[in-house]
């Protein structure tokens, strides 16, 4: 499978790793904005050296209870980092945002993929993606970041999440986004109990059979804390096991904070997948 970007295609014949680059003030702003950009570019360079193919630049936290960020503030954090990475490094840059003006500024600065946990439901979002011919990652979220973990319920989580993503993909295609420029993501942890997350992971093959590449993000998520009793600093190992299973079931891109380890896990899984074809 491939992913159509504005002026090239991304080959998903091997699973790829997307490295998370947070450009929130708590992560990179010690010493002012310029130093913040410099540190963010250094971090991107390190993740690429570890084997990431995509750098996901985000300026707003979607964690439950996180303070909302103004549009102008988010845009001024994200766009300069996107521009510097695209000028200095050889990689695909995605922008992790729900806000059309941030998508617009990031794409103008060189982002080729819009990673939207709100699946382009915000008015104007599809039009921005179409205008830039950007690829899009459509993620499922039940509710809004602030209330999504308050008693989420499904009758059939796999069917409902798949149905939502198919609908959003149709809306994007009707709005002029290329059918082969769309990624689907079940949104692990976004309006789901641990049972829902486990079920979505166990049946990721259902999502992968919809004809579009699948992106999965599990890195360091609180599901591991609850299921295994592990603090943030000890969630690497379950994240790797889960990434391997996701790739086995058809995920084409794994989003992670821990690039080197995830690249090894994903490459090993791919070797096992390839060995299935011969006696």
Site residues, ligand YH5 (CB under 6 A): 62-63, 96, 115, 117, 137, 139, 185, 187-188, 215, 217, 220-222, 255
Cα separation, 172 vs 211, in Å, equals: 15
- Give catalytic status of residue 221 as yes or no: yes
What span, in angstroms and rounded, lies between the C-alpha atoms of 254 and 261? Answer: 12
- Shortest distance, position 274 Cβ to ligand YH5, whole Å: 26
**Choice between 212 and 220, CB closer to ligand YH5:** 220
DSSP E strand boundaries for 23-134: 54-58, 92-96, 113-116
33, 221, 226, 267: which one is catalytic? 221
The least CB distance from residue 80 to ligand YH5, in Å, is 21
Q: How far is the CB of 278 from ligand YH5 (least distance, A)?
A: 34
Buried b (16+ CB within 10 A) or exposed e, 221-256: bbbbbeeeebeeeebbebbbebbbbbbebbbbbbbb
Supply the minimum distance, in Å, between the C-beta of residue 275 and ligand YH5.
29
Query: Which is closer to ligand YH5, CB of 38 or CB of 193?
Result: 193
- How many CB atoms are located within 10 Å of the residue 270 CB? 16
Q: Which residues pair with 57 in a beta bridge?
A: 21, 95
For residue 86, what are the CA distances in angstroms to 37, 141, 143, 249?
13, 29, 34, 32
Q: Which is nearer to ligand YH5, 115 or 162 (CB)?
A: 115
Closer residue to ligand YH5 (CB): 112 or 185: 185
Q: Which lies closer to ligand YH5 via its Cβ, residue 109 or residue 218? A: 218
Determine the residue with CB nearest ligand YH5: 217
Task: Give the nearer residue to ligand YH5 in terms of CB position, either 38 or 225.
Answer: 225
Determine the Cα–Cα distance for residues 20 and 208; give it in Å rounded to an integer.
22
CB of 169 to ligand YH5, least distance (A): 14
Closest by alpha carbon to 47, among 2, 90, 110? Answer: 90
Q: List the catalytic residue out of 43, 203, 235, 255.
A: 255
CA distance 252 to 266: 10
- State the alpha helices, DSSP H only, in 50-99: 71-88
Q: Catalytic annotation on 99?
A: no
Q: How far is the CB of 75 from ligand YH5 (least distance, A)?
A: 18
Contact 57, 28 (CB under 8 A): no
Task: Tell me if residue 176 falls in helix, strand or coil.
Answer: coil
What is the set of active-site residues?
Answer: 221, 255
């Amino acid at each position: 499978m491939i992913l159509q970007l504005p002026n090239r295609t991304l080959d998903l014949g091997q699973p790829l790793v997307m490295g998370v680059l947070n450009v929130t003030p708590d992560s990179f702003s010690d010493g002012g904005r310029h130093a913040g950009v410099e540190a963010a570019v250094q971090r991107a360079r390190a993740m690429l050296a570890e084997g990431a193919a995509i750098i996901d630049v985000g300026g707003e936290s979607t964690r439950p209870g996180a303070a909302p960020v103004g549009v102008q503030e988010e845009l001024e954090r994200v766009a300069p980092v996107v521009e510097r990475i695209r000028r200095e490094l050889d990689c695909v840059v995605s922008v992790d945002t729900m806000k059309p003006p941030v998508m617009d500024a990031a794409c103008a600065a060189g982002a080729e993929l819009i990673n939207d946990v709100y699946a382009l439901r915000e008015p104007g979002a599809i039009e921005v993606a179409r205008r830039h011919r950007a690829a899009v990652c459509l993620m499922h979220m039940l509710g809004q970041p602030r209330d999504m973990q308050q008693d989420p319920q499904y009758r059939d989580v796999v069917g409902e999440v798949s149905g939502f993503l198919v609908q959003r993909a149709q809306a994007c295609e009707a709005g002029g986004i290329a059918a082969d420029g769309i990624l689907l993501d079940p949104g692990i942890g976004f309006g789901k109990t641990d049972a829902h997350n486990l079920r979505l992971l166990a049946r990721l093959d259902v999502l992968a059979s919809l004809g579009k590449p699948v992106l999965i993000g599990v890195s360091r998520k609180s599901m591991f804390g609850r299921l295994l009793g592990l603090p943030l600093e000890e969630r690497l190992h379950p994240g790797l096991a889960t990434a391997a299973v996701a790739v086995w079931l058809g995920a084409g891109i794994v989003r992670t904070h821990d690039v080197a380890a995830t690249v090894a896990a994903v490459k090993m899984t791919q070797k096992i997948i390839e060995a299935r074809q011969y006696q």
